[in-house]
Amino acid sequence: MSETGGRSPRHVPVLLDRVVALLAPALDHDGAVLVDCTLGLGGHSEAVLERLPQARVIGIDRDPQALAMSRERLAPYGDRFTGVQAVYDEIADVVADQGLPRDGGVDAVLFDLGVSSMQLDLPERGFAYAVDAPLDMRMGDTGPTAADVLNTYSAADLARVLRDYGEEKMARRIADAVVRERQVEPFSSSARLVELLYDVIPAPARRTGGHPAKRTFQALRMEVNDELRVLQRAMPAAVDVIGVGGRVVVESYHSLEDRLVKRTFAAATRLDVPDDLPFVPEGAEPSYRLVTRGAEQATPSEVEENPRAASVRLRAIERIRANTRPSTSSGKGAE
């Protein structure tokens, strides 16, 4: 997450100190490796490289523009930083390509989910509803755009996206209006979509929950980038890729994301024996433990300094022994 001055984003990572504190025990040895799965502009990675000089970072981002900026920012750290263009559900392949084992090959994994600061703050990317821009919203440089979704999905599918990913109460009403209006002219700009939302959403509903376009833009972004399905694959893979003493730290900003992370962590830490068994058989102990107590949130002072921290939920898990159960990524993970 970030704040900007003009056209050049200035990265202000959410809960930076707490995130580094959670990662530090796993990275407190020579040759330690962090995989930053949501590199963005590199704010979290820079803090780790600066404060934990024994660690190196593999940074993953699907956005070539963000990757180029972070490589420039982190160039002073030399070969302690490696940037990789990939989607973060490819974490096991990325680790293997760096010559590390897929199972237990790294010491820590970090996810700072959602849209990156650079994407939000550069109008031409189409993520922001405050300025007119092409309806793109892709985190990478391939695949369908938000305009494609608006112009080709059925009313039922559009309503599902808005309801499930945006928690938009007016989902069907908005979807019907989009389908009606695109017959006049296809959607191409954010301003036209925002104008439609102001027309469709009643004034009383616009007075609560922030900007009336916020939920629709969030839903389109999550659909365009397939965010939940990617996260569903990535979370169990990340849990598997850390070694004993390793940690996975996740910052999420959407209830569906946080629920998926919570379920993945709960499955990994669950004691899989009958409740009435008087002892825990050898090999039945969970291989992981929860590090955070529930989901941690930003303090009022941090929210005041960085409003984008208001919705953050922070969770962490640690691997405490070698796996004695089947790999958590052998299936589909949490639903």
Return residue ranges of the chain for CATH 1.10.150.170: 141-224
Contacts (Cβ under 8 Å, ≥6 apart) of 257: 113, 114, 227, 228, 231
Residue 74 has pLDDT above 60, yes or no: yes
Return residue ranges of the chain for CATH 3.40.50.150: 2-118+227-319
pLDDT digits (tens, 9 = 90+) for 234-293: 999 999 999 999 999 999 998 999 999 999 999 999 876 566 565 555 666 789 999 999
Rg (CA), the chain: 21
* pLDDT in the model for residue 84: 97
Average pLDDT over residues 53-69: 94
Residue 57 in contact with residue 45, Cβ under 8 Å? yes
Architecture of domain 2-118+227-319: 3-Layer(aba) Sandwich (3.40)
Residue 178 in contact with residue 148, Cβ under 8 Å? no
Give the integer Cα–Cα distance in Å for 140 and 281: 47
Residue 36 in contact with residue 44, Cβ under 8 Å? yes
Give the integer Cα–Cα distance in Å for 177 and 97: 47
* pLDDT in the model for residue 130: 57
Please name the residue that has the structure tokens 């796993």.
26
- 294 annotated among ligand-binding-site residues: no
Average pLDDT over residues 150-164: 97
Residue 126 has pLDDT above 70, yes or no: no
Give the integer Cα–Cα distance in Å for 167 and 129: 17
* pLDDT in the model for residue 274: 60
Please name the residue that has the structure tokens 């330690």.
32
- 240 annotated among ligand-binding-site residues: no
Average pLDDT over residues 199-205: 82
b/e sequence 143-158, b meaning 16+ C-beta within 10 Å: eebbbbbbbebebeeb
> Residue 165: which pLDDT band, with cuts at 50, 70 and 90?
very high
Longest dimension (CA), the chain: 70
- 112 annotated among ligand-binding-site residues: yes
Residue 58 in contact with residue 89, Cβ under 8 Å? no
Report the mean per-residue pLDDT for the chain.
Answer: 86
Give the integer Cα–Cα distance in Å for 164 and 222: 10
- 183 annotated among ligand-binding-site residues: no
- 119 annotated among ligand-binding-site residues: yes
> Residue 142: which pLDDT band, with cuts at 50, 70 and 90?
confident
- 211 annotated among ligand-binding-site residues: no
Angle between helices 64-74 and 43-51 (to 10 degrees): 20
- 253 annotated among ligand-binding-site residues: no
CATH class of 141-224: mainly alpha
Give the count of beta carbons closer than 10 Å to the beta carbon of residue 126.
Answer: 27
